[in-house]
Structure 1
Amino acid sequence: MSRRCRCFSCIREQNTREYKVAMEMTQSVYQEGRNFWKKGKAHRVTFIIDAQDYFAAFVEAVLKAERSVYITGWDIDSQLTLIRGEEVPDFPVQLGEFLSYAVHKKPQLHVNILDWDFSVLYTFKREYLPAWKFAWKTGRRVHFHLDNYLPPGASHHQKIVVIDDRIAFAGGIDLTHVRWDTPEHLPDDPRRSDPWEERYPPSHDVQILVDGEPAAFLGELFRQRWRYATRKELPLPEATASDPWPQMCIPDIHDIDVAISRTQGRYREKPEIREVESLWVDAIAAARRHIYIESPFFTSSKVAGAISKRLYEKDGPEIVVVTRKKSHGWLEESTMDAIRVHLVKRVKRVDADGRFGIYYTEHPGRPDDLFEVHSKILIVDDTFLRIGSSNISNRSMGLDSECDLSLETWGHTEAKKACRNLRDRLLAEHLGSTPEKVGEIIEKTGSLIRAVEILGSPDRTMRPLDISPAVKNILSEPYLVDPERPIDPDDFIERFIDKEDHHSGRKRLIIFAALMLTLIALAAAWKWSPLAGYLDIDAMSEWIGSLSSNRLMPLIVVALYVLGGLVVFPVTVMVAITAVLFPPLIALALSVAGAMMSASVVYWIGRIVGRDFVRKVAGKRINQLSRRLARQGLLAMTIIRFIPVAPFSVVNLVAGASHIRFRDYFIGTLIGMTPGFIAITLFTESLISFLFQPNILNVTILIGITLAAVVLLIWLKRRIAGRVEQSAGERA
């Protein structure tokens, strides 16, 4: 047995080592129950950059699966082409057909898929009827379920694949279209196309692969969600001797603890979970030298506040954020980008030493080409790393379902090196450089920002995000588009509509119900009272038939709607008259067409005569309405149409004068008015049936439709907050 040297220098060296180890052990950011759910030993950890390698690793792992494959995502598309290029394998490469092939090869293999039951507003961006497509393309052992067990306005945003509870993928990549790309991100790569052969911009993303206890914990998380969504239990997969780890994935780290953090909005028996938010804040607070972040969004007030706090410190860390230049679509540009500009300006105000940089990736020769940064990464010094599904947005911190994996590297030399290497690989990809060159510059200058400024290539570089242009925000309250918690519908209505207008809308609903009951009473009086002698049903039927058979009548009806709009005739009365003259479906189509034409004509009149004219003619409440419409656009139109605070034509005139965009106006009017038109048409049709055949069945139908219409309108009023709020645009 060797004796330890007791000389002064050796004792001092040993004490220094022990002190450093003790200090490192006390510097862990983890607090169980606050910023992570479970933590366990992973024997292998691999970082996968971009979807080409991830999809290939997914294919290899599924082909090795023996008992179970769990898949959950924001979007899952059976038409996704997993393997692309010249080397096409001898098995199906579209996701749905591939899963069918995999279960056919393994008689004991089951595949369970949980896809977010998305809002109708995303219908045109997603695979049509996904449940039917998966059922048609796959066998009985592929179980697909649309998961809607979540608060109104929330989405399921976790992106997890678990194989036999032995290995698991997690991160930012969904198994869907517009994700596949290579690390080269070639501007005109013909392989980068969706199932409809349409090209899409370069897309950058990151996934993490783990085995051991963290993989088993993610399997447990999936089974919890499956139980909530289906009310059925999934059994634990039987233990297998085979190893599903894909050979193409060389481990970056061995034998390290990996923590799992979640976000979950409060819903029914599910409590609120904000582990992701706490981990972001705690990790930023623990940084010493550098913080490296990748996220498509930058709208979380908590994360921005944590960053500002560190920048305010004299010797705080340097922070680099890589994001996308702009969001997709007019709605996200007018909401999420506007919030981002506000927060970045707030952060820069406290950045006296120039330690904060926020950048986007660009092809210098093609500055107009969008480069999608979809990854969700946080690397703190070389001591902490987090990869997951959560964006830097309020909803990722407290509303949507999220899952992040993270690890600390204290006392783990291999892990420290892997953290640095991943950061350097990511920066090299964005700058068109090499990881070695990036690492050399950072080592030499001690600065991530200097490395970004020095490096760059003719093919790819990073540009500072330009926050000088004013981005018009269509919402005055950011919480409506990027909420931290589920929105209470009553609170939503109270905030959005003035108290006086809110009561007015409620009164209109009551008046509408009373009108229905009055019409029923009049119909009964005409049938069973002396008034019956004044009503000839046969003559009325013949007259209605002659009108509805006239080929020009649809055009006449639409023209009358326009005329009615010009003279401020109640649109609900016109809808009821239309329902009398035509069969239900035709009546509904004509009502919608006529009302939209009338709304369009009066809108443009308002736009031509201008805001000053409207202010002179209208009173105080209408002027308030004008300001609200101009400020809040699509959302305002949808709510005001559904809960009317002014006559139809007046709203049309004010909307035009307010210079709300016609597209917002048109879509909001269509969404907000259609439910009421359906209710009026159904009621009128049932009333006519009652008049012509006053039997018990028609009486029951009439009363049932009346009650259902009232209940539906009240229910829709309570639900509209969550559903309209989902129009914030694509969030994945």
Structure 2
Amino acid sequence: MPELLQPSSNIWRTERADEFAIIIDADNYFAATRAAMTSAQKSIFLVGWDFDASITLGRPGKQYDGPSHVGDFLLWLTRKNPELEIRLLLWNPGFLSSWAKVANLPYLLRWKFHRQITVHLDGNHPVGSSHHQKILVIDDAIAFCGGIDVTAGRWDSRPHLDNDPLRKRPNGTSYGPWHDASSLCSGPAAKALGDLCRARWKLAGGEQLAPVNCQRDLSSVEGAISFGSVILGISRTTPAFADQESVSEIERLYVDMIMSAERTIYAESQYFASRIIAQALARRLKEDDGPEVILINPIKADNWLGELAMDTARARLTAGGAPIYVHSKLMIVDDKALRVGSSNFNNRSMRFENECDVAFEAGRDKRLSKQLVQLRDNLLSEHLGVRYDEVTQTISRTESVIAAIEDLREIRKGDQSGNRATLVPYKTPVMSDFQEWLADNEILDPEGPEAVMEPIERRGLLRGLLTIPPKLGMRRTSGLR
């Protein structure tokens, strides 16, 4: 058993992935999911937070077999294969439901009586919570798990051009650069994610589904960063609701990874508003020989509610081109462990939403250790707008990831090409008393269902600072570097 990944603590279960890969940005992700679904033999299971049937599944403007829009594409798949069963399980936020979109209504009506396509809208969660998982399982043999929903406003390519003409919503309006990440696995790990989807399906009012027995080989996926075969851990967040017990494996995994780090913690997250995560990082940063911490966030949330709820909390927890919105949820610790999934650094993802992440550790496998560092530097080269070899050489020269980032940022300042994409330091904004009150009392980002009804005087973003509850299994794991 790997040292870091512990069933019944920070993961639900471990299974072998015959192949595991990281997919960066939706240009690669949409193309990969389209190819995988095209070859589906028996089953497609899509679990999502949001869905838009009118988006192009793939690169806009490119010619594919079958229709480009995902709604028509799914119908085409059923005509092509009468034995194929397609199930969509989506979050039902009531009147805000994604199916209220004009683009989705024609498909909902066509699918309602379709023999091969079934849609469930899942509202089986506490008031104010959501189903935030993003999982796609095909034939129980191939699965995707990460932070990318099949919806509008997600497609972008890795250069993240300021004004990419392909980056448009179905109605023709443009949106800004968008950075995201997901993962791909095959073999027993994919079947395990299928088991998770089937359990969710039944809780949402669906029938008891049997696993799919279908042998498939995974073809190469363009743009995917392959790690080969790994032992993959699956972590969940599940809020307590009705007869369902709470699960906080993801929170435990985050803290255990932070506490196991010796040199570097690299993380990308849409938000930074979790009290527990902030305390764990603060504890490590107090150490004389603690790890460097690199946290990549967007400049601000992409909607007014997220900005009000999450950006204010981030400000309270930390002392040229168009902004690139960071929506990915990924962490790499040293050269030893990686996790990616749907969870953010906020209280909701730790205790209040339904989330799913996957993780693996390199152990003594030097090949995997090297690949983890290469992935981190690959991502830094994208964020800094420099070549990969510039990142690796600068880190080698400075012997510090943070020093290398600062050096490369200075180089970008003098770039006369007009393309100055780079990272910028976070600056704590000036906040009103109301914004501080919202953040400090976690009004819009509660730590679970019970916290929603908790009196204001018992809440507090900053309470118990530098105190990590022992039940989270916080430790420095021997052998991790």
Kept in 2: contact 1:61–1:246 (CA 8 A): no
Task: Confirm whether residue 295 of structure 1 aligns to residue 269 of structure 2.
Answer: yes
Change (3 A) 1:177 1:116: same
Alignment-derived partner of residue 197 in structure 1: 172
C-alpha separation in 1, matches of 2:108 and 2:328: 27
- Deviations, residues 189-217 of structure 1 (Å, cap 9, x unaligned): 11111111111110000111011111110
Task: Confirm whether residue 372 of structure 1 aligns to residue 325 of structure 2.
Answer: yes
Cα drift, residue 127 of structure 1: 2.4
Alignment-derived partner of residue 468 in structure 2: none
Aligned AA for 1:212?
G
Kept in 1: contact 2:178–2:325 (CA 8 A): yes
Task: Confirm whether residue 207 of structure 1 aligns to residue 182 of structure 2.
Answer: yes
Cα drift, residue 439 of structure 1: 1.5
Kept in 2: contact 1:135–1:144 (CA 8 A): no
Kept in 1: contact 2:177–2:323 (CA 8 A): yes
Change (3 A) 1:76 1:86: closer
Alignment-derived partner of residue 52 in structure 2: 77
- Deviations, residues 127-154 of structure 1 (Å, cap 9, x unaligned): 2484663342694311111111111111
Kept in 1: contact 2:111–2:117 (CA 8 A): no
- Deviations, residues 454-490 of structure 1 (Å, cap 9, x unaligned): 114342111001114335544545332001111477x
Kept in 2: contact 1:151–1:486 (CA 8 A): yes
Alignment-derived partner of residue 705 in structure 1: none
Change (3 A) 1:29 1:473: farther
C-alpha separation in 1, matches of 2:166 and 2:433: 36
Aligned AA for 1:273?
V
C-alpha separation in 2, matches of 1:393 and 1:417: 30
Alignment-derived partner of residue 449 in structure 2: 486
Change (3 A) 1:85 1:133: closer
Bigger relative contact order, structure 1 or 2 (CA pairs below 8 A, ≥6 apart)? 2
Q: 1:99 aligns with which of 57, 74, 97?
A: 74
Q: Gapped runs of 5+ residues in structure 2?
A: 458-481
> Identity percentage over the alignment?
37
Task: Confirm whether residue 262 of structure 1 aligns to residue 236 of structure 2.
Answer: yes
Task: Confirm whether residue 320 of structure 1 aligns to residue 294 of structure 2.
Answer: yes
Alignment-derived partner of residue 227 in structure 2: 253
Task: Confirm whether residue 406 of structure 1 aligns to residue 359 of structure 2.
Answer: yes
Change (3 A) 1:250 1:73: closer
Alignment-derived partner of residue 422 in structure 2: 461
Alignment-derived partner of residue 391 in structure 1: 344
Change (3 A) 1:123 1:424: same
Aligned AA for 2:146?
G
Whose helix proportion is higher, 1 or 2?
1
C-alpha separation in 2, matches of 1:330 and 1:261: 30
SS in 2 for 1:454: helix
Aligned AA for 2:360?
L
Aligned AA for 2:369?
K
Whose strand proportion is higher, 1 or 2?
2
Alignment-derived partner of residue 142 in structure 2: 167
- Deviations, residues 644-686 of structure 1 (Å, cap 9, x unaligned): xxxxxxxxxxxxxxxxxxxxxxxxxxxxxxxxxxxxxxxxxxx
- Deviations, residues 375-430 of structure 1 (Å, cap 9, x unaligned): 00110001000111000000100110000000000111221122111101110001
Kept in 2: contact 1:35–1:261 (CA 8 A): yes
Aligned AA for 1:306?
A
Change (3 A) 1:181 1:126: farther
Task: Confirm whether residue 382 of structure 1 aligns to residue 357 of structure 2.
Answer: no
Alignment-derived partner of residue 113 in structure 1: 88
C-alpha separation in 1, matches of 2:99 and 2:398: 45
C-alpha separation in 2, matches of 1:124 and 1:72: 13
- Deviations, residues 271-303 of structure 1 (Å, cap 9, x unaligned): 100000000000000000000010010000000
Kept in 2: contact 1:96–1:134 (CA 8 A): no
Cα drift, residue 186 of structure 1: 0.8
C-alpha separation in 1, matches of 2:155 and 2:42: 27
Change (3 A) 1:479 1:132: farther
Aligned AA for 2:26?
A
Q: Calculate the TM-score normalised by the size of structure 2.
A: 0.88
Alignment-derived partner of residue 133 in structure 1: 107
C-alpha separation in 2, matches of 1:132 and 1:183: 33
Cα drift, residue 32 of structure 1: 1.4
Cα drift, residue 85 of structure 1: 4.0
C-alpha separation in 2, matches of 1:124 and 1:35: 32
RMSD: 2.2
In the TM superposition, 1:606-625 aligns within 5 A as none
SS in 1 for 2:82: coil
C-alpha separation in 1, matches of 2:344 and 2:282: 18
Kept in 2: contact 1:153–1:487 (CA 8 A): no
C-alpha separation in 1, matches of 2:45 and 2:115: 15
Cα drift, residue 250 of structure 1: 5.7
Aligned AA for 1:378?
M
In the TM superposition, 1:533-548 aligns within 5 A as none
Q: 1:439 aligns with which of 381, 392, 408?
A: 392
Alignment-derived partner of residue 280 in structure 2: 306
Q: Gapped runs of 5+ residues in structure 1?
A: 1-24, 346-364, 497-732
SS in 1 for 2:235: strand
Alignment-derived partner of residue 462 in structure 2: none
Whichever of the two has the greater Rg, that structure is: 1
Cα drift, residue 80 of structure 1: 1.4
SS in 1 for 2:345: coil
- Deviations, residues 323-348 of structure 1 (Å, cap 9, x unaligned): 01011333333331111100112xxx
C-alpha separation in 1, matches of 2:451 and 2:365: 47
Change (3 A) 1:245 1:273: farther
Alignment-derived partner of residue 17 in structure 2: 42
Cα drift, residue 125 of structure 1: 11
C-alpha separation in 2, matches of 1:29 and 1:200: 40
Q: Calculate the TM-score normalised by the size of structure 1.
A: 0.58
SS in 2 for 1:480: coil
- Deviations, residues 68-115 of structure 1 (Å, cap 9, x unaligned): 011011101111111234432242011111011112111111111101
SS in 2 for 1:455: helix
Cα drift, residue 61 of structure 1: 0.2
Aligned AA for 2:188?
E
C-alpha separation in 1, matches of 2:248 and 2:119: 28
